Amino acid sequence: MSADGLHVRPFTHDDVEAVWDLMRALAIFEGYIDAFAVTPDDLRLHGLGATPAFGVFVAAKAEALAGIAVHYRIPWTYDLKPVVVLKELYVAEAFRGQGVGQALFAHLRAHAVEISASALRWTVLPDNAAAQRFYAGQGGACDADWQHWTLPLQTRI
């Protein structure tokens, strides 16, 4: 725990509802709430089940969850090392500007180093200048070599 009472740790069953609330808040912020299909049961099954498909680091402060970093791992790429993908980084409005995002990102970065990952990757909305500044401040940069492409499929896992 840090001096300001912030503690970053993996999420647990007790955190599921609060994590889901923060994921839903992010969906509203990013404008995809109409397509948001994740349920608390999905978080339990796919994040805390026998073979988790993703992880969530939570930043807890004074009994409340201040933010989340949802991540998953690509087992290996061309260099035979994993890549950690930051899917969602979100800090609740009441906790913004208090170092929560930095603490979550630092924890995720340490996790990536611990598993010998070759990179940490994420996407940012083109018009989210605040996020772009944040990630640049963490040492990140927009990938000049690759474009992010998507093929929408009409299925749900």
| Average pLDDT taken over every residue of the chain | 94
pLDDT value at residue 63? 84
pLDDT value at residue 77? 84
Residue 103 · residue 134 · CB < 8 Å: no
Intervals of the chain under pLDDT 50: none
pLDDT value at residue 47? 97
pLDDT value at residue 1? 54
What is the rounded distance in angstroms from the CA atom of residue 21 to the CA atom of residue 75?
Answer: 29
pLDDT value at residue 2? 62
pLDDT value at residue 153? 87
Bridge partner residues of 122 (DSSP): 86
Residue 106 · residue 99 · CB < 8 Å: no
Domain ranges of the chain: 6-137
Handedness of CA 149, 88, 92, 134 (dihedral sign): negative
- What are the C-alpha distances in Å from 77 to residues 15, 53, 83, 110, 129? 32, 18, 7, 20, 30
Residue 87 · residue 43 · CB < 8 Å: no
Alpha-carbon 60 to chain mean position: 15
pLDDT in tens, 105-148: 999 999 999 999 999 999 999 999 999 999 999 999 999 898 88
Fold of 6-137: Aminopeptidase (3.40.630)
